[in-house]
């Protein structure tokens, strides 16, 4: 009887660990997203920031598609940056962006530019 209790406790701990890995995406993350999975996402919410002031400006929506060069689902960062600039009336060189999306149980996060705009980093 005592041995069965220990077995159940160990089994429950194991299941909790595995379910935690799946929920966080670590069990299924396999490199970069695929072109097919990006195309299935639809629209992405892109958060826009003013890098000069650190201010969060708001969101724009961008059609998801695979970006072969960056291995990401935001296909044209320059176009998205231009849309943020126009929507919020700031110079394009001050625009910072970040976005995230879920594919299966994996959460993908990215940001641009890669330096000089800490408010846009995750």
Tens of pLDDT, residue by residue over 6-39, are 444 544 544 544 344 333 334 444 689 999 999 9
The pLDDT score that the predictor gives to residue 2 is 66
Kindly state whether residues 87 and 104 are assigned to the same domain.
yes
Co-location of 44 and 70 in the same domain:
yes
Q: Are residues 53 and 101 in the same domain?
A: yes
CA dihedral 20, 73, 93, 97 (to 10 degrees): -30
pLDDT of 19: 41
Kindly state whether residues 46 and 22 are assigned to the same domain.
no
Residue 31: its pLDDT value, please? Answer: 81
Distances (CA, A) of 55 to 83, 84, 88, 90, 91: 17, 13, 11, 11, 14
Q: Do 40 and 25 lie in a common domain?
A: no
- How many domains are contained in the chain? 2
pTM of the model: 0.72
In angstroms, rounded to a whole number, what is the distance separating the alpha carbons of residues 9 and 23?
21
**63 and 3 both lie in a single domain:** no
Do 39 and 59 belong together in one domain?
yes
Asked if residue 40 and residue 6 are part of one domain, the reply reads no
- Residue numbers of the chain with a pLDDT score lower than 50: 6-8, 10-11, 13-14, 16-29
77 and 25 in a common domain: no
User: What is the structure's pLDDT at 115?
Assistant: 85
> What separation, in Å, do the N-terminal and C-terminal C-alpha atoms of the chain show?
50
Residue 26: which domain range?
1-30
Say if residue 63 is in the same domain as residue 90: yes
């Amino acid at each position: 009887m005592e041995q069965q209790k220990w077995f159940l406790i160990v089994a429950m701990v194991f299941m909790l660990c595995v379910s935690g890995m799946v929920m966080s995406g670590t069990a299924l993350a396999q490199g970069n997203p695929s072109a097919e999975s990006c195309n299935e996402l639809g629209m992405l919410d892109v958060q826009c920031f003013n890098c000069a002031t650190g201010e969060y400006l708001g969101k724009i929506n961008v059609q998801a598609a695979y970006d072969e060069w960056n291995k990401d689902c935001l296909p044209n960062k320059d176009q998205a940056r231009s849309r943020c600039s126009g929507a919020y009336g700031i110079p394009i060189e001050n625009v910072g962006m970040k976005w995230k999306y879920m594919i299966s149980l994996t959460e993908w996060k990215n940001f641009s530019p890669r330096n000089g705009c800490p408010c846009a980093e995750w």
